[in-house]
């Protein structure tokens, strides 16, 4: 009995001591700055405005000299995620609402990151990828071929992208917190069709029989979840071109992928807390803003009319730059200490994939275009593809964006496969102008070479998304004597180059054109980022559907060959147009057909084999833990750039008119309803005076209890900012703001505002603002 009591006393003392020590350790942890979590990763996301100059700058993508910016459809952004092991490796992926990545942009971003973070972020673990919108400002690449139509290098385009990438990475870095990542995959059937099916059909029948479709329908999504805040973002990869907006559009736009990102970010923010329960609702999935911003609409119509009549258009007045930023809708209502939700829709192997899913038709007859050459009566200029909203390209952009957004929401809500395992990466530079490649040929192997870059005749024919001009045709493997004569005035290709590029007839021998500096790249980056069982293949170009499939399969075969590999199922995605740009990559068989994509495959028929060979080396090094040779460094040509774009000299208005005055106001006592267009025109100034980065040129405000509340800005799909001048040399200009009233807008009093910046005769820049008269939405 005595022994038992003594034993229980010792147990109680030991238990008390344990509780004391536990309490002591907890107090130490609470007082320290160290955060302990069961999460395997630190996760951070960031986003920043990269919209660029909304006037006078040629758009990158269609190479149409007449297509210059003159306003904003909705803003462009750089979005980044960082995934880090608490005491190990980390990777950065940046998705740009831009046509493609740029080698000089990547070089300068890495220089800034090195100055700020040392060797934490380098070319090895940072990937910068473009969504391939054809509606963004050009002039930010360093090679001559890609900046001819933009009148050379455009410093504003370059600076805003470099700044935006750096700032979104800084935000992601500062948001690093313990979190988890989930992956999900699904099929999206109605957002892309093959625009060069005759080339695809030249691939071996046995290979084609392995696939149900002639484009990739798979979309892969990553879901990022913060341990404290819950879901904080998603990045997805899906292959379809950014050509819903046509070659005649002049409004800056993120096209279908930028639209999908905007839709999903708004959808999430409008769901409230962002918890899994609040995300489970299926109702009202399309984005709506105003109903969330304004909780109690007014219902006395006559009183609203009288109230609106008391707010007539005031004269334009001076403003501060920060006034534009402070009125941004998405900056005003976000919880300050909570990370914003960031959603990116990334590009993949989109080389032959068009979002214009209705097909290609002749504009003169309405009949389908000729199959093999995409011509109408022998002319490529008459063959255009049609989006699902035809003939409204804005509607086509919305529909294709919405389809990607809706599928991403489904994948996001159902994502339950957790990413686990190592963070790792491999990167190398390769000279694709003269690379030896070992290929198999009927059971035997032989060594072939890639070629210096060259463009074929079919390149000038364009595609059904944006036809070329003159008498060029796709699938031209002969060339034209007249254009060969013109070509030779620039550079006559050598016999060796002609033989190497066969059967491509060379139109521009860009790889051997060096005046005033390099016309095309030769040293290109390749990269693999590993996040557990997910592998991202960063490629510096546009791979066609089958080319992408071959590359993915080859890398997956290498990864799966490792018996010690810990994952049964691995996910391999291609991130197209990443780190730099070198146009297209087709299969060997597609190259023989010389459709647009084959003619734009710079380095000859064995380009894909070269990529596969070099990526297999990276994959082998990754699973073995071995380093790779860095390869030759690409050139920094920033100091050689030439710019012929005239600067803004001075802005002016007619006598007695102020900047910001409404020259075409809404009629007095106006009433509008959902679906109506409200248009106001203001006396304005050139948008290049101030890009209004993280601000807005256009704003719709709602009157609530005597205060004007921001409701929509120029980052909204329903509000368009259009800028124009009477002629190129005029100092006078106007801003037209068009608001198509969305469904579900509350009854109330509204007005439209314009923000701008004028340039004086001696170079000073001063900001101004103007307002329309108030009107009623009933």
Q: Is 6 helix (H, G, I), strand (E, B) or coil?
A: helix
Residues 6+ apart with CB under 8 A from 207: 546
Nearest Cα to Cα of residue 259 among 412, 69, 396: 396
- Note whether 522 and 562 are within 8 A (CB): no
Whole-angstrom CA distances from 254 to 64, 133, 328, 523 are: 18, 6, 18, 29
Residue 542 assigned to a binding site: yes
Whole-angstrom CA distances from 216 to 160, 240, 487, 582, 584 are: 33, 9, 37, 22, 17
Compute φ and ψ for 537, nearest 5 degrees: -95, 110
In the set 244, 354, 600, 773, the catalytic residue is 354
Whole-angstrom CA distances from 740 to 261, 329, 354, 450, 670 are: 20, 17, 27, 52, 15
Residue 767 assigned to a binding site: no
CA 648 to chain centre: 28
Angle, CA 149 vertex, CA 683 and CA 648 arms, to 5°: 30
How far is 476 from 508, CA to CA, in rounded Å? 14
How far is 437 from 299, CA to CA, in rounded Å? 73
Residues 6+ apart with CB under 8 A from 729: none
List alpha helices for 251-392, DSSP H: 255-269, 290-293, 301-309, 321-326, 329-332
CB atoms within 10 A of CB 236: 30
Residues 6+ apart with CB under 8 A from 43: 81, 82, 83, 84, 176, 177, 178, 179, 180, 181, 224, 225, 226, 232
How far is 153 from 129, CA to CA, in rounded Å? 20
Residue 132 assigned to a binding site: yes
- Is 354 an active-site residue? yes
Residue 418 assigned to a binding site: no
How far is 484 from 480, CA to CA, in rounded Å? 6
- Note whether 775 and 677 are within 8 A (CB): no
Residue position matching structure tokens 């990370």:
339
Residue position matching structure tokens 């209705």:
358
- Note whether 619 and 559 are within 8 A (CB): yes
Helices 607-624, 545-560: inter-axial angle, 10-degree rounding = 30
Q: Which residues are annotated as a binding site for Zn(2+)?
A: 132, 241, 542, 584
Q: What residues act catalytically? A: 354
Binding residues: 132, 241, 542, 584
């Amino acid at each position: 009995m005595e022994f038992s009591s003594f034993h229980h006393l010792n147990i109680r003392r030991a238990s008390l001591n344990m509780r004391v020590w536990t309490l002591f350790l907890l107090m130490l942890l609470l007082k320290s700055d160290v955060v302990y979590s069961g999460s395997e990763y630190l996760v951070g996301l960031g986003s920043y405005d990269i919209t660029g100059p909304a006037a006078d700058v040629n758009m990158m993508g269609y190479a149409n000299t007449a297509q210059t910016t003159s306003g904003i459809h909705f803003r462009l952004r750089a979005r980044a995620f960082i995934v880090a092991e608490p005491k190990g490796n980390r990777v950065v992926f940046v998705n740009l609402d831009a046509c493609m990545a740029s080698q000089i942009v990547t070089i300068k971003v890495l220089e800034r990151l090195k100055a700020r973070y040392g060797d934490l972020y380098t070319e090895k673990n940072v990937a910068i990828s473009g969504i391939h919108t054809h509606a963004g400002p050009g002039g930010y690449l360093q090679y001559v071929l890609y900046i001819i139509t933009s009148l050379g290098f455009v410093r504003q385009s370059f600076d805003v992208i470099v700044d935006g990438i750096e700032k979104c990475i800084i935000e992601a870095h500062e948001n690093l917190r313990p979190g988890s990542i989930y992956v999900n995959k699904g099929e999206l059937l109605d957002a892309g069709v093959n625009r060069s099916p005759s080339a695809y059909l030249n691939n071996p029948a046995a290979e084609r029989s392995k696939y149900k479709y002639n484009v990739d329908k798979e979309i892969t999504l990553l879901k990022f979840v913060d341990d404290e805040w819950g879901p904080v973002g998603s990045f997805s990869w899906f292959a379809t071109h950014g050509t819903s907006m046509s070659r005649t559009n002049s409004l800056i736009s993120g096209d279908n992928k930028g639209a999908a990102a905007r839709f999903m970010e708004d959808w999430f923010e409008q769901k409230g807390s962002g918890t899994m329960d609040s995300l489970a609702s299926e109702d009202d999935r399309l984005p709506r803003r105003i109903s969330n911003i304004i909780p109690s609409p007014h219902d006395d119509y006559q009183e609203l009319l009288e109230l609106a009549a008391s707010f007539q258009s005031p004269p334009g007045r001076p403003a501060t730059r920060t006034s534009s930023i402070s009125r941004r809708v998405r900056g005003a209502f976000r919880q300050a200490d909570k990370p914003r939700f960031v959603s990116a829709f990334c590009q993949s192997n989109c080389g032959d994939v068009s979002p214009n899913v209705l097909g290609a038709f002749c504009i003169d007859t309405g009949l389908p275009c000729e199959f093999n050459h995409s011509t109408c009566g022998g002319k490529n200029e008459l063959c255009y593809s049609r989006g699902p909203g035809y003939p409204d390209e804005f509607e086509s952009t919305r529909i294709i964006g919405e389809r990607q957004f809706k599928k991403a929401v489904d994948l996001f809500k159902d994502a339950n496969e957790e990413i686990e395992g190592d963070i790792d990466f491999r990167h190398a530079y390769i000279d694709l102008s003269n690379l030896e490649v070992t290929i198999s040929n009927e059971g035997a192997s032989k060594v072939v070479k890639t070629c210096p870059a060259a463009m074929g005749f079919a390149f000038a024919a364009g595609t059904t998304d944006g036809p070329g001009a003159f008498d060029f045709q796709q699938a031209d493997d002969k060339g034209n004597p007249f254009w060969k004569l013109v070509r030779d005035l620039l550079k006559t290709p050598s016999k060796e180059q002609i033989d190497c590029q066969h059967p491509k007839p060379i139109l521009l021998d860009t790889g051997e054109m060096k005046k005033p500096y390099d016309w095309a790249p030769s040293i290109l980056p390749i990269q693999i980022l590993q996040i557990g069982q997910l592998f991202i293949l960063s490629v510096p170009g546009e791979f066609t559907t089958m080319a992408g499939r071959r590359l993915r399969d080859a890398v997956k075969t290498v990864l799966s060959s490792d018996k010690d590999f810990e994952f049964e199922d691995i996910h391999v995605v291609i991130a197209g147009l990443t780190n730099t740009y070198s146009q297209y990559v087709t299969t060997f068989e597609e190259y023989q057909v010389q459709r647009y994509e084959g003619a734009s495959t710079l380095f000859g028929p064995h380009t894909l084999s070269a990529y596969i060979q070099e990526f297999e080396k990276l994959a082998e090094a990754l699973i073995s833990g071995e380093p790779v040779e860095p390869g030759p460094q690409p050139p920094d040509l920033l100091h050689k750039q030439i710019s012929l774009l005239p600067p803004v000299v001075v802005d002016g208005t007619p006598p007695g008119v102020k900047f910001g005055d409404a020259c075409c106001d809404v009629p007095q006592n106006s009433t509008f309803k959902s679906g109506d267009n409200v248009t106001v025109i203001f006396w304005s100034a050139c948008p290049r005076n101030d890009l209004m980065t993280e601000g807005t040129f256009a704003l719709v405000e709602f009157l609530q209890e005597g205060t004007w509340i921001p409701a929509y800005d120029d980052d909204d799909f329903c509000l368009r900012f259009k800028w124009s001048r009477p002629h190129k040399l005029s100092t006078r200009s106007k801003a037209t703001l068009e608001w198509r009233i969305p469904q579900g807008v509350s009854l109330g009093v509204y007005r439209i505002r314009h923000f701008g910046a004028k340039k004086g005769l001696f170079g000073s820049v001063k900001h101004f603002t103007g307002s329309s008269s108030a009107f009623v939405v009933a």
